[in-house]
Amino acid sequence: MVKYFKFFEYAYLVIAIVFIVETVLNWSLNRQKAYIYLAFSGLAVFMYFFRKKHRKKYENQGK
């Protein structure tokens, strides 16, 4: 079960990288869209650390 949690943690980082790339590509074309992508990338990074904290809490609960 913990392996799945780890997988989804890193999936959030991959999503953040994709949104950062989209931000860079859309920066000169459409700034409003770029800001939305930037916000979603920040949210994805936040979710990575949030999930990591809760996974470690879950792992330590069994000890």
pLDDT tens-digit map of 49-59:
999 999 899 88
For the chain, what are the domain ranges?
2-61
- As a whole number, the mean pLDDT across the chain is 92
Rounded Cα–Cα distance for residues 55 and 48 (Å) = 10
- Say what the pLDDT of residue 28 is: 94
- Say what the pLDDT of residue 5 is: 83
